[in-house]
Amino acid sequence: MNQEQTAKLYEAHYMRVFSYAMTLTGNREMAEELTQETFFRAFSKSSEFRKESDEVTWLCAIAKNCFYDEKRRQSKTAPIPEEIPDTGKEIEQVAADRDSSFRIHVALHALEEPYREIFELRVFGELSFRDIGTIFGKTENWARVTYHRARLKLQERMETK
């Protein structure tokens, strides 16, 4: 592709490729960079264009690949934070939360069936009482009552430990 052909290609399709890049990135500066990289790759690999598709389709495919390449590069070079992010909790509170979480799991493990399974389905599985009742072949009300009984049993065990 000679210089005149490249100039015509650029002028004819710049706005369409730029618009496509804007939809990919959502950022004007990134879209401009992506568009420039797209045309650079297209001009350097113009001999590979087989004319099986429209030129703008070919250019947008190059833009998409450039975009994915950039995203992969960014994910590999994401900066590691210098400090641990502030969760708003003191270290003592985080340790206490871990301790209480462990105690809850120990108490839950000792809970008899069907209370343990109902509690786990509701809390960890985030299922509705209707879904839990269906799993057990019971009513929604049965699931609700059994869950509340499981909570009470768990609270009792937590208080005794």
Looking at residue 26, which CATH number applies to its domain? 1.10.1740.10
Structural domain of residue 149, as residue ranges? 91-160
Domain CATH number, residue 126: 1.10.10.10
pTM: 0.46
* Residue 70 covered by a domain: yes
Instruction: For residues 115 and 146, give the distance between their C-alpha atoms in angstroms, rounded to a whole number.
Output: 6
Tell whether 95 is covered by a domain: yes
Q: Residue 138: helix, strand or coil by DSSP?
A: coil
Is residue 117 one of the residues assigned to a domain? yes
Number of domains in the chain: 2
Q: Give the residue from 76, 108, 127 where a domain finishes.
A: 76
What CA–CA distance (Å, rounded) separates 91 from 125? 29
CA atoms within 13 A on the CB side of 12: 11
Per-residue pLDDT of the chain (161 residues; tens, 9 = 90+): 567 877 888 888 889 888 888 888 888 899 899 999 988 888 877 666 666 677 888 888 888 989 988 888 887 765 655 555 555 556 556 556 677 777 777 777 788 888 888 888 887 777 888 888 888 899 999 999 999 998 888 888 877 75
| 42, amino acid identity | A
